[in-house]
Structure 1
Amino acid sequence: MRVAIIPARGGSKRIPRKNIKDFCGQPMLAYPIKAALNSGVVDKVVVSTDDAEIAAIARKYGAETPFMRKAELADDFTGTTDVIRNAITELQQLGWPLSHCACIYATTPLLDSERIAGAYRMLLSSKAGYVFSAARFSFPIQRALLQTPEGGVVPFDPANIMQRSQDLAETFHDAGQLYWATADTWLDTTKAVFGPGSRMLLLPAHLVQDIDTAEDWRRAELLYQLLQAPAQ
Structure 2
Amino acid sequence: MNLAIIPARGGSKRIPGKNSKLFVGKPLIAYSIQAAIDSGEFDKIIVSTDSPELAELAKSYGADVPFMRPEALSGDYVGTGPVTKHAIEYCQQHFFEPTFCCCIYATAPFLEGRFLSQGLHALEADEHKNFAFSATSFAFPVQRALKRVKNGVAPMYPEYIGKRSQDLEEAYHDAGQFYWGRPAAYLQNKPMFSEQSIAIILPRHLVQDIDTPEDWQRAELMYQAYIQGQKSE
**For residues 164-179 of structure 1, what are the structure 2 equivalents within 5 Å?**
164-179=164-179
Distance in 2, matches of 1:71 and 1:220, equals 31
Q: How many residues align?
A: 230
Question: How far does residue 96 in structure 1 lie from its aligned partner after superposition?
Answer: 2.4
Return the alpha-carbon distance in structure 1 between the equivalents of residues 120 and 95 of structure 2: 23
TM-score by length of 2: 0.95
Q: 1:194 — aligned with what?
A: 193
Question: Residue 102 of structure 2 aligns with which residue?
Answer: 102
What are the Cα deviations for residues 113-162 of structure 1, in whole angstroms up to 9, with x where unaligned?
111111111111133210000000111111101112x3521211122222
Q: How does 1:34-183 map to 2 (within 5 A)?
A: 34-127=34-127, 128-148=129-149, 150=150, 152-183=152-183
Structure 1 regions of 5+ residues with no counterpart? none
Asked if the contact 1:37–1:43 (Cα under 8 Å) also holds between the matched residues in 2, the reply is no
Distance verdict in 2 for CA 1:151–1:76, change over 3 Å: farther
Paired with 2:71 and 2:14, the residues of 1 have a C-alpha distance of: 19
What is the alpha-carbon distance in structure 2 between the residues aligned to residue 40 and residue 73 of structure 1? 29
Structure 1 vs Structure 2: percent identity of aligned residues? 49
Deviating above 4 A after TM superposition, structure 1's stretches of 4 or more consecutive aligned residues are none
In the TM superposition, residue 173 of structure 1 has moved relative to its aligned partner by 0.1
For residue 5 of structure 1, give the secondary structure of its aligned residue in structure 2: strand
Please say which of residues 173-182 and 119-128 is displaced more in the overlay. Answer: 119-128
- Note if contact 1:129-1:181 (Cα within 8 Å) is conserved in structure 2: yes
1:15 equivalent in structure 2 = 15
Q: Which residue of 1 aligns with 2:224?
A: 225
* Post-superposition CA distance 1:71-107 (Å, at most 9, x none): 2212121111111111111222224221111010001
Distance 1:151 1:60 in 2: 56
Report if the CA contact (8 A) 1:11-1:75 is conserved. no
Q: What is the CA–CA distance in structure 1 between the aligned matches of 2:203 and 2:62, rounded to whole Å? A: 28
1:204 pairs with 2:203:
yes
Tell me, in whole angstroms, the C-alpha distance in 1 between the residues paired with 2:65 and 2:40: 20
Q: Which runs of 5+ in 2 are unaligned?
A: none
Compute the displacement of 1:26 (Å).
Answer: 1.1
Q: Look up the equivalent residue of 2:140 and give its one-letter code.
A: F
- Distance across 1 between alignment mates of 2:232 and 2:15: 32
Q: Which moved more, 1:172-181 or 1:159-168?
A: 159-168
